[in-house]
Amino acid sequence: MADDTGTPRRVEALEAILVEKGYVERTALDAIVEAYEDVGPKNGAKVVARSWVDPAYRERLLVDATSAIAELGFGGRQGEHMVAVENTPEVHHLIVCTLCSCYPWPVLGLPPAWYKSPAYRSRAVIDPRGVLADFGITLAESTRIEVHDSTAEIRYLVVPMRPPGTDGWPEDKLAELVTRDSMIGTGLPVAS
């Protein structure tokens, strides 16, 4: 949808204007870009894996996610007020921001394009099973779905169910099973 030539030029021109006026330093922009290259769903995967192996941590995560996540060193912008919601055989959680693109940056990184798309934002709250089908996911009809629309500064992290056949796995190997989408609710952990 972006104009393939107009928009990059527009952005470049704006940067030049802001720099010339002394409002931004190019190296500050570089530093922001660089900072977000490092942040991604691997952070959240560590949180989930820890909750799978450490019942006390799981408890803390479900009661005060912001603090529990900070224990692992994650936090900051767009993660100030975290809530973790846990999938069970009875309930599946799905996160959306219908009004814009609210997303827990410190644990999942910046959101993928589909998360910000009108297709996802419009349909997640009225037809989540249809949305899950777009992701190749079919839940049991008996599974309830709870959709969380991030309308405030609360950021949600889905704790997916630990896959069967992973007893005794070390935490870092478990973390590899935890996909970005499984922590949004549009996916499941990789089959072990």
Catalytically active residues, by annotation: 97, 100-102
For residue 178, the minimal CB distance to another protein (Å) is 11
Cα 110 from chain centre: 8
Q: Which of 12/71 has CB closer to another protein?
A: 12
For residue 20, the minimal CB distance to another protein (Å) is 4
Q: Which of 29/54 has CB closer to another protein?
A: 29
Q: Residue 150 in contact with residue 97, Cβ under 8 Å?
A: yes
**Dihedral Cα 90, 96, 98, 99, nearest 10 deg:** 140
Exposed, middle or buried: residue 154 (CB in 10 Å: 0-12, 13-18, 19+)? middle
> What is the C-alpha separation between 141 and 183, in angstroms, rounded?
21
For residue 151, the minimal CB distance to another protein (Å) is 5
For residue 127, the minimal CB distance to another protein (Å) is 8
Q: Which of 38/167 has CB closer to another protein?
A: 38
